Amino acid sequence: MTLKVFGDRMSQPSRAVILFCKVNNIEFEEVTIDVVKRQHLSQQFAEINPMRQVPAIVDGRFKLFESHAILIYLSCAFPGVADHWYPADVSKRAKIHSVLDWHHLNLRYGAFLHTTLGPTLGRPLNPGAAANAKKILESSLAKIESVWLKGSGKFLLGSYQPSIADVSLVCEIMELEVLDEKDRFRILSPYKKVGVWIEATKASMQPYFDDVHGILYGSKEKYQKQREIATLHSKTRRLFNWFDYEHYYKHVM
């Protein structure tokens, strides 16, 4: 029975799992659970994952959810996966767990992504939450730069080859793609090693990386158009205000 991966490519942990399968030639069937259509809340999906979150997998009779747990399981249960993804060595493995656990409460944290990206996606801006989100994001990028990318290799933990931690964290950072190019540059450019690491991780997983992120690249264009329309509206409004002012100046004052 083929492995089934239940996910939504708009969700970063889903992309990490799908990407990992493709890169490692793990045969799988992708089952799309459209989160916008609230398919993850259906009773049918609750049979797969009672927590009603994507991604989840079914391997024969074995069901599993939580993307880090899935990545580790796939590394161990499928013999074709190279050792560097999740090394057998206890100490190396421990360091990868440490990165993944740190990721949960820092880079991922949910809040910062939703609030930083919220305005881009047309959601209302909560200034307090956005400022906090920005702080967590910058602090996380600084820690990746100074702690996790310390060492001679281009990958996390100073390695010369990527691990599941690289897949998971880079898929998270790719969310920034939907921001305006200038904003994205402003956020990422202070972290030189982070930039090199993102490109190295992408390159190590091509052509699958771009394939799996296609949906995000598509969204980027859509949001860019929305931003252009919003800017045009704002300019029209300024023109209208200016016109009103001229009218007022000539006829009322």
105 binds its own copies (CB under 8 A): yes
* Contact of 3 with 62, CB cutoff 8 Å: no
In the complex with its own copies, which residue's Cβ is closer, 101 or 181? Answer: 101
* Encoded tokens for 33: 């659970």
Half-sphere exposure of 56 toward its Cβ, with a 13 Å CA cutoff?
17
Nearest to 209 by CA among 6, 19, 82, 9: 19
Q: Nearest-CA neighbor of 53 among 6, 16, 15?
A: 6
In the complex, minimum distance from the CB of residue 17 to its own copies, in angstroms, rounded to a whole number: 13
Residues 138, 188: Cα–Cα separation, whole Å: 9
Q: How far is the CB of 157 from its own copies (least distance, A)?
A: 12
Check residue 114 for interaction with its own copies (CB under 8 A): no
Q: Does 125 bind its own copies (CB under 8 A)?
A: no
Cβ proximity of 48 and 58 under 8 Å: yes
Nearest approach in angstroms of CB 109 to its own copies is 8
CB of 85 to its own copies, least distance (A): 15
Which x/- pattern, by CB under 8 A, does the window 9-48 give for its own copies? Answer: ----------------------------------------
Q: Where are the alpha helices (DSSP H) in the chain?
A: 12-23, 43-46, 67-77, 90-103, 111-117, 127-143, 164-173, 181-188, 192-204, 208-251
Q: Which stretch binds its own copies (CB under 8 A): 28-36, 102-110, 206-214, 231-239?
A: 102-110
Phi, psi dihedral angles at 86 (to 5 degrees): -160, 80
**Taking CB under 8 A as the rule, does residue 97 contact its own copies?**
yes
101 binds its own copies (CB under 8 A): yes
Q: Does 215 bind its own copies (CB under 8 A)?
A: no
Residue 146 binds its own copies (CB under 8 A): yes
- Binders of its own copies in range 56-95 (CB under 8 A): 62, 64-70, 72-73, 76-77, 90-91, 93-95
Which residue shows structure tokens 């090394």? 87
Size of the residue set binding its own copies (CB under 8 A) = 31
Q: Is 225 exposed, middle or buried (0-12, 13-18, 19+ CB in 10 A)?
A: exposed
Among residues 22, 143, 184, 227, which is the contact residue for its own copies, using CB under 8 A?
A: 143
Per CB under 8 A, does 141 bind its own copies? Answer: no
- Spatial CA neighbour of 140 closest among 176, 164, 89, 182: 176
97/134 with CB nearer its own copies: 97
Please tell me whether residue 110 binds its own copies under the rule CB under 8 A: yes
Q: For binding to its own copies (CB under 8 A), which residues are involved?
A: 50-51, 62, 64-70, 72-73, 76-77, 90-91, 93-95, 97-98, 100-102, 104-105, 108, 110, 143, 146-147
